[in-house]
Structure 1
């Protein structure tokens, strides 16, 4: 039996085991995908142990993406761009680190991304933003990207990392509504609106949204956030956060196994679980 898993802390909430185990069953692969709660100081030991046990690969989630980047012996271009690893493949001589958040985000929005010239506004400057910027630098390098954040220094750090590949600018948090109104694509990357604070939103003026905009919230619990509801009511094309989770998982599966993933089966597992949570009293 092939062994896969996800390392994180916390990790009990992860949808990846349901998604990956459904994919293995659909493809008739004798494999299991297990969540492993790992403390930061134990990450190296956990990765060495999984390699020794003959695991094929693992996903890596918060707070271990930087630690996994340092631990692997080889890294893909995407991992180097983001300076973080979210998927590891063990090899005879070591381990390769990759980052499917980069491709997964693009696959989640590609169908609705407006044509160039493109103005993008990203709300927040946390860790998830790096994968989005890396993806834009590959697929839309001429985009004008405004990052609305309370801390200008966080945007400055991102500019140091991606400024040679993208045109980045800091949008003061107080000016975010005007920036959203002027944007073709808006990506919400703050924790605002995440369960249990589902009524919160980084935007409180629904008039800033309009038809033709692409609006995504990377929060997926709840599946339809207050932010997305507002944008949808204004006629914008909305993309939920679970789609990014799904496509990074599809890409990880294909990278590990060198075969096409059963994407619809994986989507059914992810959205089926989230819809059950939404229907629960």
Structure 2
């Protein structure tokens, strides 16, 4: 990569950001397409968020990814919101052309799953009711799932999210229940999505939400955790000869969607995946 006077800057804002995998992924993509862009991570204290957005506009920065803790608070400083980002109530991508916010987390998960199966007409069970679950659930609805059930340790949070997704008009009635009742929903499930932090490094030996004896071979099992690559849940899916989808794929495809928003070009997904895998020491 050669930085020139004409180089377009995109980047990541969050607090902290030093462990982000996005810079190597995006910079590999820009290099592969010989684009005059560079991706940089900016550690922005929450108290400085407004001035960071205003400063980025003044500096002609082209776009940002947004990570914790800014995904919700940044919305007040934008001029426009993508419709699904508005429903989700959080933004992870900003395009400074029109100061518009998007959320590519959910589409990232959907595209990861759709490497294996279409979401359309599928019965989907989502574990967790936090930010990742919210982003993914709205996109599962948007992509035509037959049914959606949201399970969470705090049942009230699951019920609230289910109500919000139902009210969006993207899908019919969304069910909710305790995560402890997950066994009641496995027989009819086509896709299981785990958005909980169970199994995330360093807690790699956590008890999975479901074990192999409750999975059939047709079940698609997606775990949003990508460190480790092979989580306890993914190991159970492999043991059951089910269809595992790795969390790294969500990270990859959400990045590819951001890339397209900023540049108007289709992202070189293979190049980005190789860079990600190298960064995560998976190859």
TM-score (norm 1): 0.92
* 1:177 positional shift: 2.8
**What runs of 5+ residues in structure 2 fail to find an aligned partner?**
1-6
Q: Which stretches of structure 1, 4 residues or longer, exceed 3 Å deviation after superposition?
A: 114-117
Q: Give 2:4's aligned residue.
A: none
Deviations 1:20-74 (A, max 9, x none): 0101111111221111112222211111111111100010011111112222111
Match of 1:238 in 2: 244
What number of residue pairs does the alignment pair up?
A: 274
Aligned counterpart, 2:3:
none
Correspondences of 1:179-198 after superposition (within 5 Å): 179-198=185-204
Contact 2:112 2:250 in 1 (8 A): yes
Secondary structure of the 1:220 match is coil
Deviation at 1:150, TM superposition (A): 1.3
Alpha-carbon distance between aligned partners in 2 of 1:201 and 1:29, rounded to the nearest angstrom: 45
Matching of residue 120 in structure 1 with residue 124 in structure 2: yes
Distance 1:105 1:139 in 2: 11
The 1:119–1:20 alpha-carbon spacing in structure 2 relative to 1, beyond 3 Å, is same
Partner of 2:229: 223
Q: Give yes or no for the alignment of 1:139 onto 2:143.
A: yes
Match of 1:23 among 26, 29, 39: 29
| Greater shift in the superposed pair: 195-204 or 126-135 | 195-204
Q: Is the 8 A contact 2:226 2:246 kept in 1?
A: yes
Output the CA distance in 2 between the equivalents of 1:243 and 1:174: 27
**1:100-126 C-alpha deviation (Å, 9 max, x unpaired):** 123222111113236764221111111
Distance 1:117 1:46 in 2: 43
CA-CA distance at 1:6 after TM superposition: 0.5
Tell me if the contact between 1:198 and 1:226 (Cα under 8 Å) persists in the aligned partners. yes
**Pick aligned residue for 1:88 from 85, 94, 102:** 94
Listed as ranges, the matches of 1:158-197 within 5 Å are 158-164=161-167, 165=169, 166=171, 167-197=173-203
Provide Cα deviations, 1:138-180, integer angstroms capped at 9, x if missing partner.
1124x22121211121122213321133331122222123323
Q: Secondary structure at the match of 1:112?
A: coil
1:208 CA drift (Å): 0.7
Q: What's 1:52 paired with?
A: 58
Cα distance in 1 for partners of 2:208, 2:238 equals 15
SS of 1:145's equivalent? Answer: strand
Q: Unpaired segments of 5 or more residues in structure 1? A: none
Tell me if the contact between 1:26 and 1:265 (Cα under 8 Å) persists in the aligned partners. yes
Using structure 2 for the length normalisation, give the TM-score.
0.91
| Other-structure match for 2:107 | 103
Q: Which structure shows the higher helix fraction? A: 1
Match of 2:152 among 149, 153, 156: 149
Summarize the Cα distance change of 1:201–1:34 in structure 2 as closer, same or farther, 3 Å threshold.
farther
